[in-house]
């Protein structure tokens, strides 16, 4: 699967309270969650994000609470993939489970800035920065995690196995 989109760039330790503040957790409707996504650090995001745009963060992206509302809010905003230096583990797991691919590229992430255009080959884990010409390679998903991703999430995977 190939993706091309504009970068929304955030820093290190982006926590799930920032991605979707607890005051909005009285709903789990994806579109409603998306309408509040990132609001506490970036009021423009939910208004201006375009389907296909790419979210890029620093290290420990998605730390904090286990709320699956966080990757759901990002996915429902139209973001098809998140790239970060590293991900907090529950967020990583949740993203895969809800069918939102995440790519870990370590310190290479520093070469990606807001507004850059990225072209991503998800299957190969290859990221091309069309703005700067840089090319990055993300670590491939391990073992049966690939099967979960291919099935489109954990529920589909479990149903397939039944």
Q: By CB under 8 A, name the binding residues for another protein.
A: 13, 15, 17-18, 21-23, 25-28, 40-41, 59-60, 63-69, 71-72, 86, 88-90, 93-94, 97-98, 142-145, 153-155, 158-159, 162
Tell me whether residue 4 or residue 156 sits nearer to another protein (CB atom): 156
Closest contact distance (angstroms) between CB of 107 and another protein is: 14
114 burial level (CB within 10 Å; 0-12, 13-18, 19+)? exposed
Residue 17 per-residue DSSP state: H
Phi-psi region of 116 (alpha: psi -120 to 50; beta: other; left: phi over 0): beta
Tell me whether residue 135 or residue 158 sits nearer to another protein (CB atom): 158
Tell me whether residue 1 or residue 22 sits nearer to another protein (CB atom): 22
Closest contact distance (angstroms) between CB of 58 and another protein is: 10
Tell me whether residue 65 or residue 129 sits nearer to another protein (CB atom): 65
Task: Give the ranges where 7-123 is alpha helix by DSSP (H).
Answer: 16-19, 30-34, 45-48, 69-76, 89-97
- The CA-CA-CA angle for residues 42, 46, 51, to 5°, reads 125
Closest contact distance (angstroms) between CB of 37 and another protein is: 14
């Amino acid at each position: 699967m190939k993706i091309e989109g504009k970068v929304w760039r955030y820093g290190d330790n982006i926590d799930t309270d920032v991605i979707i503040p607890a005051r909005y957790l009285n709903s789990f409707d994806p579109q409603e969650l998306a309408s509040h996504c990132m609001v506490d650090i970036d009021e423009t995001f939910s208004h201006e994000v375009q389907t296909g745009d790419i979210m890029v963060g620093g290290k420990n992206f998605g730390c904090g609470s286990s709320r699956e509302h966080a990757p759901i809010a990002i996915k429902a905003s139209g973001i098809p993939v998140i790239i970060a230096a590293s991900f907090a583990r529950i967020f990583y797991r949740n993203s895969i489970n809800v069918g939102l691919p995440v790519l870990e590229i370590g310190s290479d992430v520093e070469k990606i800035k807001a507004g850059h255009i990225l072209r991503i080959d998800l299957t190969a884990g290859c990221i091309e920065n069309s703005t700067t010409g840089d090319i990055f390679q993300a670590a491939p998903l391990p073992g049966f995690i690939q099967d979960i991703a291919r099935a489109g999430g954990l529920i589909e995977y479990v149903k397939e196995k039944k």
